[in-house]
């Protein structure tokens, strides 16, 4: 079993901060370079793809840089304040990076073919598509086999890191402080009896962060994709601490008893759901949360809170296959949460993400 290195023990603070900033800067440079090359290639092979997006103004790019700087500062401060160990800031799937980065390039001709043929529901004939909701059977982000193959699961984390210029984990970590605050509602319980569920856990990146921040609590994860759950199981087995319990399930029908969890998180799921499914996932989260429990949702920013980034929000579904994103950006999740029975609904933004924190009332 391997755990992330304990930086606090041998790097002084001022060097650790520079190391963190350098690490983030190198991921950003890598992401930008990758996108520049792959966008150029895509435009050569599929010229119409080049006409689908609008360029961002220098002001927007400037604002984005400010937002990413703020995100990194908050991330650093949360580690300094003990919300999670500093070592989490440096957690990176290096072996997967070296093993699968070439596959990201090798997969591109298949992506171009699907873009050219407008073929967004294409799956290998060996993939069993029985039992999934129709809205799920899509090549989200033009991914080969959608969420339903080991290849897709192996490439996913890398693709997300590239998409967000290395800021994906820093955005995921923004759920930890509000979750810990929510769990403080249960001071009488020993940590082992605190149960937290990550809905649509994917390859387990959020669970990995949660394990680092809350080493003793009982963690659970569900996702519809067996391949992503296999990957999550592999990646979570590498770190110390009890293995989270993973289950394949539709988030619209969570396979748990009423009032079971003390906290629920969900990261980057809601923009991939059609509106009725968004409401149903919120209703189910309400059902399986204990009174006093907290739900934290992290997803893309929305039109109402980031008008400066409207062009970016328009470009995203135009460039990637994201059939429910446009509606998501105008959906009122606060209203949906209150409709389900949640109270004290609060939201905040970090970089290109938005976070909702909501409580299940005690009575």
Ligand X SMILES: C[S@@+](CC[C@H](N)C(=O)[O-])C[C@H]1O[C@@H](n2cnc3c(N)ncnc32)[C@H](O)[C@@H]1O
**Count of residues interacting with ligand X (CB under 6 A):** 20
In this chain, which residue has its C-beta nearest to ligand X?
202
250 binds ligand X (CB under 6 A): yes
* In contact, 96 and 151? CB cutoff 8 Å: no
Residue matched to tokens 């339903």: 148
DSSP letter, residue 187:
T
324 binds ligand X (CB under 6 A): no
- The CB-of-327 to ligand X minimum distance in angstroms stands at 15
Residue matched to tokens 């921040």: 213
CA distance 348 to 342: 17
Select the span of 35-43, 82-90, 261-269, 343-351 touching ligand X (CB under 6 A).
261-269
Supply the Cα-derived Rg of the chain in whole angstroms: 20
Residue matched to tokens 């938005």: 354
208 binds ligand X (CB under 6 A): no
Going residue by residue from 188 to 207, which x/- string records binding to ligand X, judged by CB under 6 A?
A: ------------xxx--xx-
353 binds ligand X (CB under 6 A): no
- The CB-of-226 to ligand X minimum distance in angstroms stands at 9
User: What are the angstrom distances between the C-alpha of 126 and each of 44, 227, 268?
Assistant: 32, 13, 27
Cβ-based neighbours of 120, under 8 Å, separated by 6 or more: 114, 138, 139, 142, 321, 323
Q: Which is nearer to ligand X, 217 or 246 (CB)?
A: 246
4 binds ligand X (CB under 6 A): no
Q: Would you state the structure tokens that stand for residue 275, as one six-digit string?
A: 């509106």
User: What are the angstrom distances between the C-alpha of 249 and each of 152, 161, 256?
Assistant: 19, 26, 10
Q: Which is nearer to ligand X, 16 or 285 (CB)?
A: 285
Site for ligand X in 128-147 (CB under 6 A): 136, 147
212 binds ligand X (CB under 6 A): no
Query: Given the rule CB under 6 A, which residues bind ligand X?
Result: 136, 147, 160, 172, 200-202, 205-206, 223-225, 228, 250-252, 267-269, 272
């Amino acid at each position: 079993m391997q755990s992330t290195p304990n930086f606090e023990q041998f790097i002084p603070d001022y060097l650790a901060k520079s190391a963190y900033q350098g690490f983030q800067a190198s991921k950003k440079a890598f992401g930008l370079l990758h996108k520049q090359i792959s966008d150029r290639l895509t435009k050569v092979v599929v010229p119409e793809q080049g006409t689908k997006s609008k360029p961002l103004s220098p002001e927007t790019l400037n604002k984005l840089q400010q937002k990413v700087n703020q995100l990194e500062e908050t991330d650093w401060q949360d580690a300094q304040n003990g919300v999670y160990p500093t070592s989490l800031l440096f957690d990176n799937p290096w072996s997967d990076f070296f093993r699968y980065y070439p596959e990201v390039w090798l997969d591109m001709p298949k992506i171009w073919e699907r873009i050219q043929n407008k073929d967004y529901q294409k799956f290998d004939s060996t993939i069993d598509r029985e039992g999934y909701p129709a809205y799920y059977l899509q090549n989200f982000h033009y991914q080969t086999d959608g969420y339903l193959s080991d290849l897709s699961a192996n490439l996913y984390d890398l693709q997300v890191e590239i998409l967000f210029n290395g800021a994906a984990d820093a955005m995921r970590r923004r759920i930890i402080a509000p979750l810990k605050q929510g769990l403080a509602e249960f001071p009488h319980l020993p940590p082992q009896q605190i149960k937290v569920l990550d809905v649509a856990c994917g390859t387990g990146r959020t669970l990995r962060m949660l394990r680092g921040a809350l080493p003793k609590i009982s963690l659970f994860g569900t996702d519809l994709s067996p391949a992503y759950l296999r990957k999550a199981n592999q990646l979570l087995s590498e770190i110390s601490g009890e293995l989270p319990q993973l289950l394949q399930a539709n988030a619209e029908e969570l396979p748990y008893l009423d009032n079971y969890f003390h906290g629920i998180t969900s990261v980057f799921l809601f923009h991939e759901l059609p509106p009725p499914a968004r409401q149903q996932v919120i209703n189910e989260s309400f059902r399986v949360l204990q009174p006093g429990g907290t739900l934290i949702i992290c997803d893309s920013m929305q039109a109402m809170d980031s008008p400066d980034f409207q062009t970016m929000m328009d470009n995203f579904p135009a460039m990637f296959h994201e059939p429910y994103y446009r509606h998501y950006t105008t959906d009122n999740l606060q209203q949906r949460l209150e409709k389900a029975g949640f109270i004290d609904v609060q939201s905040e933004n970090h970089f290109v993400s938005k976070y909702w924190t909501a409580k299940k009332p005690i009575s």
